[in-house]
Every structure is written in structure tokens, then in C-alpha cells.
Amino acid sequence: MPELRGHHLICLHFFDGEGYSETFTVNLRNILQKTGHSPVEICSGPDEVCAKCPYLKDTTCNYSINAERDIREMDSRALEMLNLSPGERVGWEGIRKSVPHIFSEWYESYCKECEWITACRKNTLFQGLLSDKKSDITEGE
Ligand code: SF4
């Protein structure tokens, strides 16, 4: 059963083949394949994605100077928004259905400043949600 931390429950829907290394992306593809036929177990801290990440040192994320703190905060926020908790087991498709409902807030809080946004912009789900968000703003004017 794939084990994923909070923010990966959202960000992985926008994976389109890019990552830190070949090992990292192959692992991500394998995890996403598993989500097709098995529920996901939610964990806190490093997960199966982190396990093949060059920035994981022991059990700490070293992506940037405050990454460990910032990523844990992002995990908590993701779980709050999805109304989920560590230890729960959930179906991937169910999470995917929740993503459009929380996308606008997630985008404003995290995607806008994320270094990976160029990669996510190539993903069709991300493009569609961003375009819906833009139309909502235009309609509201
Ligand atoms: S950057 Fe940090 S949170 Fe992201 S996969 Fe690597 S270790 Fe995990």
C-alpha cells in the first residue's frame, strides 16, 4: 500500500514526468501505478516519495534551509483542506475528486511560489483547474 504525506496527496495529481532525478521519477511512477489498485495510507513525515529523493537526509527534508518545518506545515494544511488525518487509508480517485474543490486555495497558498510550477503547468489537470480558476475570477468581476 502506498504511503503518502499530506502535500503529496495533492501535488502528485499534477506529476507529469519531471522530478529531481531518474530514480525519483521512476519511483513516483511506480507509486502512482500502485494508487490505481490500492488505497493510500496517509503518513506524517517522510513518505515513499521522499524515500528516493536526493534531499532526504536521514528523516529530514533538506530541500531548503527551513524545508523540514515548511513542508510539515504544508502537509498539515493539505490534510486540513482534504479533511484527512495521518493513519487514514483513502482511495486515490476520491482524493482526486476533492482536488478541484481545494485547488484555488492551494494554488494561492503554495503553487504560486513553488519552484516546480513550470512542471505542473504542463499537466492537463493543472491547466484545466487553473483555467477554471481564472474564469471564476473573471465572472466575479
Ligand atoms: S523535497 Fe523534501 S518533501 Fe519533497 S520529496 Fe524531497 S524529501 Fe520529500
d(CA 87, CA 54): 26
Q: Per residue in 26-50, pLDDT tens?
A: 999 999 999 999 999 999 999 999 9
**Whether the CB of 61 sits within 6 Å of ligand 1:** yes
**Whether the CB of 12 sits within 6 Å of ligand 1:** no
Q: How far is the CA of 89 from the centre of ligand 1 (A)?
A: 21
Grid coordinates in use for 43? Answer: 503518513
Q: How far is the CA of 129 from the centre of ligand 1 (A)?
A: 24
Q: Give the residue, by CA position, lying nearest to ligand 1 atom 1.
A: 63
Q: Per residue in 56-83, pLDDT tens?
A: 999 999 999 999 999 999 999 999 999 9
Q: At what angle do helices 92-109 and 124-140 cross, to 10 degrees?
A: 50
- Among 75, 91, 21, 76, smallest CA distance to 52 is for 21
Q: How far is the CA of 67 from the centre of ligand 1 (A)?
A: 8
Q: How far is the CA of 71 from the centre of ligand 1 (A)?
A: 8
Which residues are within 8 A (CB) of 100 and not within 5 positions of it... i.e. 6 or more apart? 129, 132
Domain ranges of the chain: 3-136
Which residues are within 8 A (CB) of 1 and not within 5 positions of it... i.e. 6 or more apart? 34, 38, 39, 40, 41, 89
- Among 48, 5, 55, smallest CA distance to 29 is for 48
pTM over cut 0.75: yes
Q: Give the residue, by CA position, lying nearest to ligand 1 atom 8.
A: 50
Q: Per residue in 95-136, pLDDT tens?
A: 999 999 999 999 999 999 999 999 999 999 999 999 988 777
